[in-house]
Amino acid sequence: MKKGLIIIPAFLLMFIAFGLSSAQAHVFFQCPCLDDPAATGVVKAHGNIECSVGGQSIACKHMTAGDGFATTADGSETYIFGFHDVTNLYPPNGVYATKDEADAIVSTDGLLAAETSAPTINVQENQDFYLTLSIVPMVIRPDLFDPHTVHFHGYPNASAIFDGEPMSSISTNQGASLTYYYNLTGRPGTYMYHCHVEASEHMQMGMLGNLFVRAADDTTAYNTADTGFDVEYPIQVISFDPKFHQADQDIQPLPFAEMLDVYPMFNGRGYPDTINPNDLPPPQQKIDGRASIETISPTQSSQKVPSRITATAGQTILLRLSSLATVDIYTITAGGLPLQIVGKDARIYKGQSNPAGTPLFQTVNSVNIGGGESFDLLIDTTGIAPGTYFLYTSNLNELANNLQEFGGMMTEIVIAP
């Protein structure tokens, strides 16, 4: 008995010491713009922290991944998983004066803070991109210890370590951070990103976002005159199955085979929320949930990405269209406005994807888009009568918000005189 009494405390001490020394997860935003004394021109731009180090342009972004709620256009609230942008917490001109202070607050700021569509990633091909993902606990599903990742969908000549597909790589546990690195040189185009952990579930649950790489000449899509534009809009096709989301919230078996998307959306909103230029108000369950846990930061909107498209007559609009729908293939049309396909899957749509190749450009009234595809579409508004036009799915049964008629996957294109 005496031996036993001695051994147990010793074992406990070892356990505690081990726990404190090496197993401490922590939030760690790796950003040369903030870490490197040689960084110059540090600014917030395009939702990033941007700077130059030794002549190399750099962009950094920090997001959390966790759960939350969203509001569908019929007023229902639905449980989601998602990403949340915390870059604004950091200097320069951030909520907090220092990186350490901001790092310390990220894990509470991210609680129940999921956004859908995820924060739009807008970077440029001359930048080195450092994307930090910090994982927060799932407040509504504390039984889920799910890690999360970012899959930069379409990044060419990828490495396994930064691919985010968890069977081939690493994924980050709750409480910890991983910084992904992407060299973007020569890789302009319209991509997308999503979590790839248990992808069928996490993507249906909303861990989806726009990601585009602006060309070095960012008045063009691909550094060619024939891909020039005046205004650009990322539009992502997303759909939700409320029964699936409810099953996830209620800790029920997940109905993959019976998945039926009845909330067809652009950028995480159904019409008419798509044309609201502002953040949607946060859902009540999110407000209540965050009030019941110790979050220091204010509760933000879950749906910050509008899809109302505006231009002045004569301008050329670049639609950066992507789909991360998990069930269906959709057809997208702009009604009377012709769409010119100039890019496909983040490559110029020319023979051999060569800017000097034979143009495969097509002017169409609609495009079919399956999950994981992207198109760069130009709308030349020269000679178009000013007014309001619509971008919508010509799968007309999808123009609904579940039981509410005439909504869904539709938004406005407003041509001003």
Partner 1 sequence: MNNTLIKAYQTAVVLSLLLLVPLVAGAYDIPGITGTPGSPVFNLTTGTGTVVTGEGNQVHMWLFGVAGGTVQYTGPTLIVNEGDTVTINLTNNLPVPVSLVIPGMNVTAAVAAGPGPALPGILTKEVPADNGATTVAYTFTATQPGTYLYHSGTNPSLEVEMGLLGALIVRPAGYDAVTNRIAYNDPASTYTHENLFLLTDIDVRFHNAVENGNLTNIDFADYRREYWFINGRNLPDTLAAQNTPLLPFQPYNAIARLNPGQTILYRMIGAGRDGHPFHTHGNHHLNIGSQGQLMGAGASLAWNAFTTAVYPGDTFDALMTWTGQGIGWDVYGHASDIDNPPLGFSTGGAPGPEDFDNNGNGVYDQCNDANNLAQPGEDPAAHCVPLPVIMPNIQDLTFGMFYSGSPFLGAFGALPPGEGGFNANAGFFFMQHSHSERELTNFNIFPGGMATFLIVEPPSAPVQ
Residues 189 to 218 in contact with partner 1, rule: CB under 8 A: 198-201, 203-204
Distances (CA, A) of 73 to 78, 264, 334, 398: 11, 10, 21, 13
349 makes contact with partner 1 (CB under 8 A): yes
Cis peptide before 37 (omega within 30 of 0): no
Pick 165 or 230: Cβ nearer partner 1 = 165
H or E segment at 374? strand 374-380
Name residue 272's beta-bridge partners: none
Q: Which is closer to partner 1, CB of 63 or CB of 311? A: 63
363 contributes a contact to partner 1 by CB under 8 A: no
Binding of partner 1 at residue 254 (CB under 8 A)?
yes
Contact call for residue 163 and partner 1 (CB under 8 A):
yes
Q: How far is the CB of 234 from partner 1 (least distance, A)?
A: 17
Question: Which of 128, 217, 230, 279 is the binder for partner 1 (CB under 8 A)?
Answer: 128
- Does residue 75 belong to the site contacting partner 1 (CB under 8 A)? no
256-275 residues near partner 1, rule: CB under 8 A:
256-259
d(CA 105, CA 115): 18
Q: Is 28 a residue that touches partner 1 (CB under 8 A)? A: yes
Q: What tokens appear for 397 in the block?
A: 């049964």
Residue 153 interacts with partner 1 (CB under 8 A)? yes
**Total residues interacting with partner 1, rule: CB under 8 A:** 84
- How far apart, in whole angstroms, are the C-alpha atoms of residue 29 and residue 63? 9
Stretch that binds partner 1, among 152-160, 279-287, 301-309, 378-386 (CB under 8 A): 152-160
Per the DSSP assignment, residues forming a β-bridge with 332 are: 367, 393
* Smaller CB separation from partner 1, 85 or 373: 373
Please answer whether residues 39 and 53 qualify as being in contact, where contact means their C-beta atoms are separated by less than 8 angstroms.
Answer: yes
Instruction: Check residue 103 for interaction with partner 1 (CB under 8 A).
Output: no
Q: Which of 318, 302, 305 is nearest to 274 (CA)?
A: 305
Q: Is 353 in the site for partner 1 (CB under 8 A)?
A: yes
- Give the start-end residues of each E strand in 3-109: 40-45, 48-53, 56-71, 77-85
Measured in whole angstroms, the distance separating CA 380 from the mean position of its chain's CA atoms is: 27
In the list 95, 104, 105, 170, the residue contacting partner 1 (rule: CB under 8 A) is 170
How far, in Å, CA of 137 to CA of 110, rounded? 9
Q: Which helix (H) or strand (E) holds 245?
A: helix 242-249
117, 122, 126, 172: which one contacts partner 1 (CB under 8 A)? 172
351 binds partner 1 (CB under 8 A): yes
Only segment of 223-231, 346-354, 385-393, 409-417 that touches partner 1 (CB under 8 A): 346-354
Compute the least distance from the CB of residue 359 to partner 1, in Å.
10
